[in-house]
A and B are shown apart, each in its own frame.
Chain A
């Protein structure tokens, strides 16, 4: 067979039709090499082995009918042009097929050798063109990301240089400076920091666009994060004489999220609030529960600023949006902050929106998923629609040797958690998310469906495996203990859900006493 022969995969169950197509193909101008199968499954199988130049496809086959047929073929061979040869002159189906990526739709008996030959050749050309367009689109996106990453990296070196030398002057390390000079230097430092934030946002926005932002969720108290963000923004608020207030319900259960990223979102919203609020106004950060949406915490940042027009409300989360009517004569940013903030919240599984009236301030709100122990525990502590017989809570405590833990300690703990994940059975045990603690000590907890005797085997395994984590031996100590979780009274007439709730409650109480009253660790019903 010559190399130039068009390799045709003909998927057609009717022998008469198949012969006719073969005849048309042989009569055509260019040499063809036909492989004919009469079932879709055989066609898909043959695509695994070799890739034809073109697929000629009948839609009604013994093992597949209609649109389903071309969908399966396109899925299997997205890069091979598909021409449908159908018995039905169904325009709607033909258009649907083209929209999904089929190259042509011919009606049996209505085409000649030369038109079939031409349809096939054009289908091959069009497919190649589409592919190269798609590839160049991907290359361009990749190039844009690389470009932004390169630019933001290269901008940082001169930026750092300015920052360092100005702060050396400002701090008086190179001789005394007059109060007026200090003022000017402070203005420079402020601008350099703005520039630094813009460089960072540029990279973040390009990442958000290509889905490359990573989040590492853990279990955390949202009240701590709100307080931290407010403390960080307090100086800026004071400078502008804008009040910055907190209203957080401390009974809010733990949230499942990435603390660094959530802090970023909070700071962004508070910063905006301060920026658009005149002196004498106030920015309030609130966190609360909404009874109609029990799986989420609602966090809002409200200001008494200039407000947003209805038209602008639809645009504030768009990339590069800047408020043209900003009363504040502060410098504008890149217009990426809210875009990034919304992306971060969406990555957490939450939503972000704005409510505002021109002249009456704005209210930016977002939701974050609550950490639900009962939901996570359900598959672990139940088996075949009943509660398991024995449940044990294993505590793995890590404490650093020296009080001022080296910065690498956090990373050692992270590695220990990864090793711990591999010491348990995925379907039977649950490693609880790490709890954010202020101190250097880290406690990991495993809920295991096993009795105390077998828990001992698990503990030995954990001690052995964690003992192999480099650094841990030099920098900290390891303590592994187990506690039996009390089970609800079987005699009591409880539904499985109620039993799980009761166990989750018991585990929560034990976790709380083990961690020593960690704030916010309450479980909802």
Chain B
């Protein structure tokens, strides 16, 4: 079974690395984007199964990215989990309304995050069989 591919969008290199280590330990492949602009470009190129998105980003913040993803036929089906230091009272509803599948405030509980990733990943991706 092929691993699901998750795109991490965060401008903080240490947080990207930590999340990458955590996801790889749980058998996910990862790709990284450091800003809003490259997130969209990389989503086109890599076709990730899921995007974990920070909100405070250079070159187009998380809401801009969410909006671009939603409006793009090729990308709108990719589930997005928002993982941000921002406050839920001001951002959670807005993020969910903009199309995010879930919202986590940093630091997120790892077990909970992994559980939601599992539940949110499209079925097709987890059941893809390796080409022989």
Contact = CB atoms under 8 A, between A and B. Distances in A.
A168 B107 contact: no
B21 A168 contact: yes
B73 interface: no
Nearest to A173: B25
Contacts of B120: 406-407
B126 to A, nearest CB: 11
Contact of B87 (A171, A174, A203, A415): A203
Contact of B101 (A164, A192, A406, A415): A406
B119 interface: yes
B114 to A, nearest CB: 11
A238 B26 CA distance: 30
A154 B86 CA distance: 9
B18 A157 contact: no
Given A156-B85, A408-B101, A173 B106 contact: no
Contacts of A165: 14, 18
Given A173-B25, A406-B79, A406-B101, A160 B89 contact: no
A160 B110 contact: no
Nearest to A404: B119
A149 interface: yes
Contact of B15 (A157, A192, A196, A207): A157
B85 A164 contact: no
A102 to B, nearest CB: 41
B102 A159 contact: no
A196 B107 contact: yes
A163 interface: yes
B23 to A, nearest CB: 11
B119 A157 contact: no
Nearest to A470: B99
A149 B91 CA distance: 13
Nearest to A165: B18
Contacts of B89: 207, 213-214
B107 A163 contact: yes
Nearest to B56: A153
Contacts of B97: 411, 415
Contacts of A415: 97
B40 interface: no
B22 A168 contact: yes
Interface in A70-107: none
B125 interface: no
Contacts, number: 71
Interface string B86-128: 1101000100110111110111001000001001100100000
B46 interface: no
B19 interface: yes
B67 interface: no
B22 A160 contact: no
A408 B100 contact: yes
Contacts of A159: 106-107
A149 B100 CA distance: 23
Nearest to B54: A157
Contact of B116 (A149, A407, A411): A407
A407 B102 contact: yes
Contacts of A163: 107
Contact of A161 (B18, B99, B123): B18
A279 interface: no
Interface in A209-251: 213-214
Interface string A383-411: 00000000000000000001010111001
Nearest to B104: A407
Contact of A411 (B19, B86, B87, B96): B96
A404 B122 CA distance: 11
A167 interface: yes
Given A160-B85, A203-B87, A214-B89, A173 B107 contact: no
Contacts of B106: 156-157, 159-160
B25 A153 contact: no
A160 B15 contact: yes
Interface in A403-439: 404, 406-408, 411, 415
A477 B125 CA distance: 24
A316 B1 CA distance: 57
Contacts of B87: 149, 152-153, 203
A408 B99 CA distance: 8
A159 B116 CA distance: 22
A368 B123 CA distance: 43
Interface string A186-211: 00000010001000000100010000
A235 B61 CA distance: 39
Nearest to A161: B14
29 contacts: A153-B87, A157-B106, A159-B106, A159-B107, A160-B85, A161-B12, A161-B14, A164-B18, A164-B107, A165-B18, A167-B110, A168-B18, A168-B22, A173-B21, A173-B25, A174-B21, A196-B107, A203-B87, A207-B89, A404-B119, A406-B101, A406-B120, A407-B81, A407-B103, A407-B119, A407-B120, A408-B99, A408-B100, A415-B97
Given A171-B110, A406-B120, A407-B101, 15 more contacts: A153-B85, A153-B87, A156-B105, A156-B107, A157-B12, A160-B107, A163-B107, A173-B22, A192-B107, A406-B79, A406-B101, A407-B120, A408-B101, A408-B102, A411-B97
Interface of B: 12, 14-15, 18-19, 21-22, 25, 79, 81, 85-87, 89, 93, 96-97, 99-103, 105-107, 110, 116, 119-120, 123
